[in-house]
């Protein structure tokens, strides 16, 4: 049974979400402020957090940052829930590590569907992480031997292109900003600009995509960053 941490300063909303999640056989934990949310994220070890942006004292963005900077909670999926529909807020939320973004008023069935989708994606990632190989359409990756082939033909990638492909393919369907890609692929080893990420993505596409103008593997999400295509 998956455990969901619900964080909102409005008790009625927390109770509504909790009631409907528990009807769907999830277990829930409740928090009404950021500090409590951080404590419960570490002690209760939830599988996912539904996090309101507008919280007293410590807002949802700060909670999200703290979760992403703590090794114990860095991989915790987050759905950001807020009354704000401004595109800037959405971009900021995704930039600092939120997995999804739902605006109030929301449809409870849609929210639960998004919870299920993220948890399913997380489980698929876990399953893929223990595999030595990854296959999608005509692309085949061997993570152990570092061999990559398209339509049965081996392609030669640079170490950086390999790391980019490994990272994105191990997390299919999840959108990453350029700064997140830099953090995961380069690990602060050197100074890398957002523009450099675009250049490396283009070089990677030139090796694995049949049509660079209409890529099927490494997709651009306008305004946010990149993702590997959702597995069918």
Query: Which homologous superfamily is 3-127 in?
Result: Response regulator (3.40.50.2300)
Block residue for tokens 């490494």: 218
The yes-or-no answer to whether 3-127 and 131-228 have a common fold is no
**Among candidates 6, 8, 58, which has minimal Cα distance to 34?**
58
Quick one: CA dihedral 198, 204, 206, 208, positive or negative?
negative
C-alpha–C-alpha distance, residues 124 and 188, integer Å? 28
Q: What is this structure's pTM?
A: 0.59
Provide CATH code, domain 131-228: 1.10.10.10
Report residue 58 as tokens: 């410590």
Residues 6+ apart with CB under 8 A from 62: 34
Instruction: Assess contact for 157 and 165: CB atoms under 8 A.
Output: yes
Break the chain into its structural domains and give their ranges.
3-127, 131-228
Task: pLDDT tens for the chain, 232 residues: list them.
Answer: 899 999 999 999 999 999 999 999 999 999 999 999 999 999 999 999 999 988 988 999 999 989 988 888 888 889 998 776 666 666 777 777 788 888 888 999 999 998 998 888 777 666 655 567 889 999 999 888 888 999 999 998 887 888 899 999 988 888 999 888 888 887 654 567 888 889 899 999 999 999 988 999 999 998 889 999 987 5
């Amino acid at each position: 049974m998956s455990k969901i941490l619900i964080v909102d300063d409005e008790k009625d909303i927390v109770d509504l979400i909790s009631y409907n999640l528990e009807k769907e056989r999830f277990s829930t934990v409740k928090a009404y402020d950021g500090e409590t949310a951080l404590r419960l994220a570490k002690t209760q070890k939830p599988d996912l957090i539904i996090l309101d942006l507008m919280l007293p004292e410590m807002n949802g963005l700060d909670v999200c940052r703290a979760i992403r900077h703590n090794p114990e909670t860095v991989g915790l999926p987050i759905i950001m829930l807020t009354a704000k529909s401004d595109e800037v807020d959405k971009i900021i939320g995704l930039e600092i590590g939120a997995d999804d973004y739902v605006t109030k008023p929301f449809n409870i069935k849609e929210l639960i569907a998004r919870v299920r989708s993220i948890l399913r994606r997380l489980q698929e990632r876990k399953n893929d992480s223990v595999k030595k190989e990854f296959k999608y359409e005509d692309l085949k990756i061997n993570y152990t031997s570092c061999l990559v082939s398209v339509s049965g033909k081996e392609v030669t990638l640079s170490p950086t292109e390999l790391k980019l492909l490994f990272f994105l393919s191990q997390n299919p369907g999840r959108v990453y900003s350029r700064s997140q890609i830099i953090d995961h692929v380069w690990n602060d080893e050197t100074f890398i600009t957002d523009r450099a990420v675009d250049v490396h993505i283009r070089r990677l596409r030139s090796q694995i995509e049949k049509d660079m103008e209409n890529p099927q593997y490494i997709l651009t999400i306008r305004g946010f960053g990149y993702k590997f295509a959702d597995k069918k």
